[in-house]
Amino acid sequence: MLRKAILPAAGLGTRFLPVTKASPKEMLPIVDKPLIQYSVEECERCGIREFIIITGKNKRAIEDHFDQFSELDEVLKQKGLSNLIEEIHRHDQSDFAYIRQSRPLGLGHAILCAKAFVKDEPFAVLLGDDIIDPEDTLLMEMIEIYKKYRSPVIALQEVPDDEVSKYGIIDGETVTDFGPHNIPKQLYKINALVEKPKKEDAPSNLAVIGRYILTSDIFEALEAIKPGKGGEYQLTDALNLLLSSRVVYGYLFKGNRYDAGDKFGFLKATIELSLKRPEFSENLKNYLKSLTAGL
């Protein structure tokens, strides 16, 4: 059973300055929900209810967001806004723990900060920048693969050649013995990972995206690595180390993902996810048509 998720949220968000100077990137809203809430809800849809959020400087708003706020409850009650009361209490059945990463030393270091809370259990890691279309079941499918193989599973997406240098890229081979599951072309056995390679050095165009199912032996690997690319402790390096002792799978995702940590990606996510909201869909479509008619 997979019960825990780590949500690393201690990054500096430099791609989104100036707003991220004093406000957490994870609290940027797609319409009315902060980015990190999309990850929390994705986990809750899979039955994960224990969250370990790695925070840092200027990230207090994340804790407030998932905390109780009795004065607000009172005001909403007086105004008869029961739907909003329900909305702000939708995570009451989940537990949230916060660990402060004292310095942003990298994603690998951020995950290692949660070691004492995860103990021996397998766990999910979700990077809130990567918004997966809420209609997709990627995480659920990754959990199914984990249950079958009891090995770490990393989400992958095909990226254009000129974007490989922004991602961790895998060298892997397709798994063909996928038994009764009918998705063999989407599962890979990973041979190696390269962090942000140059186009000419990339072993494939299969990029690691922000969804992982990991096992507790990753912590030993994270403790063993030295700072890598960019002087940061890279999860990619720890995964490479883990590959010498166990199989790690990659699962190719073909649905919609938005890189909301990038300004243009964030705009796309805002428009596309708003178009899926029944209360805005029609008006927004008409508005976009009217804007583009003159172009």
Strand 29-30 relative to strand 4-8, pairing = unpaired
12 is a site residue for ligand UTP (CB under 6 A)? yes
DSSP character at residue 130:
E
112 is a site residue for ligand UTP (CB under 6 A)? no
**Helix (H, G, I), strand (E, B), or coil: what is residue 13?**
coil
Helices (H), 201-262: 218-224, 235-242
Judged by CB, which is closer to ligand UTP: 54, or 155?
Answer: 54
Q: Minimal distance in Å, beta carbon 110 to ligand UTP?
A: 3
Q: How far is residue 167's CA from residue 268's CA, in Å, rounded to a whole number? A: 19
Q: Minimal distance in Å, beta carbon 104 to ligand UTP?
A: 3
34 is a site residue for ligand UTP (CB under 6 A)? no
| Interface segment toward ligand UTP; rule CB under 6 A; list 122-130, 163-171, 250-258, 281-289 | 122-130
8 is a site residue for ligand UTP (CB under 6 A)? yes
Q: How far is residue 268's CA from residue 13's CA, in Å, rounded to a whole number? A: 18
24 is a site residue for ligand UTP (CB under 6 A)? no
Q: Which of 27, 66, 112, 128 binds ligand UTP (CB under 6 A)?
A: 128
284 is a site residue for ligand UTP (CB under 6 A)? no
- Considering only CA atoms, which of 115, 125, 126, 117 is closest in space to residue 220? 115
Q: How far is residue 221's CA from residue 219's CA, in Å, rounded to a whole number? A: 5
Q: How far is residue 174's CA from residue 189's CA, in Å, rounded to a whole number? A: 6
| Interface segment toward ligand UTP; rule CB under 6 A; list 72-80, 98-106, 146-154, 270-278 | 98-106
- Binding residues vs ligand UTP (CB under 6 A): 8-16, 25, 54, 101, 104-107, 109-110, 127-129, 261
